[in-house]
Amino acid sequence: MRLKVFGDKVSLGTAAAQQAASTMKRALAERGTARIVAATAASQAEFLDQLTKMPGIDWGRVEVFHLDEYIGLPITHPGSFRKMLLEQLVRKTAISRYHLLDGDASDPHEVVRRVGEELASGPIDIAFLGIGENGHIAFNDPPADFEIQDPYIIVNLDEACRRQQVGEAWFSDISQVPQQALSMSVQQILKAKEILAVVPDRRKAEAIKASFEGDINPMAPASILRTHPNATIYLDKNSASLLSPPLQSELHERSEVVVGS
């Protein structure tokens, strides 16, 4: 697993988009299709904007899967991740094969079964992730389930996760944030051939330190990314600000550090 640090969100997003585009174009050349997983949120905006502008991607041959969604939230709500996925990625490209997690469906168990079958039908070339203020990946809040093999699961959201959504201005207060969500499982995320996590902002700094300097454990869900052979974590100087001085120094000298398990 590699850590990369950039001076700001824009340079971070551009570099991450270049890596993502390279992987997608390689998959398209080798297999004629690219299957991706996409996170959506405020933290992903610059990255996804740059990715949609990258030349040479035949978006008509790209298939995209949704990472997570609230249960009981209509697609018209500003905080809906389906809404963000459509606005930030699908409608800016020629993607026609996309799989949304309908959190407003009458039977969420049927949603995770149906989309999970589609997801498991072939390999995922690259998964785009964020990391939450509590260290979550997708909606796998601490303590995250590192064992379950189901592609998608139904999860309960912890208070820290729900407060983050209020802080990002999607909801006016915590009582409006749903208490459950549909989420890709940790094990399914790790099945992607490549993982690219985009994590800017000072509010993520504590989660970054816990995930990449502490033990690998379910209380720091993103720490599991250290076990993946081809994961790259893109940070800005703010999200990397609490890393230890030796690691800070090494990142300053090399702009990239390999972190083992």
Helix runs in 134-258, H state only? 159-167, 186-190, 205-213, 245-254
What pLDDT is attached to residue 124? 98
**Amino acid sitting at position 170:** W
pLDDT at residue number 251: 80
* pTM reported for the whole predicted model: 0.93
The pLDDT value recorded for residue 169 is 60
What pLDDT does residue 261 have? 58
pLDDT string in tens for the chain (261-residue length): 899 999 999 999 999 999 999 999 999 999 999 999 999 888 899 999 999 999 999 999 999 999 999 999 999 988 899 999 999 999 999 899 999 999 999 999 999 999 999 999 999 999 999 999 999 999 999 999 999 999 999 999 988 888 877 766 677 788 888 899 999 999 999 999 999 999 999 999 999 999 999 999 999 999 999 999 999 999 999 999 999 988 887 887 777 888 865
- β pairing state of 152-156 and 62-66: unpaired
Domains of the chain: 2-258 (3.40.50.1360)
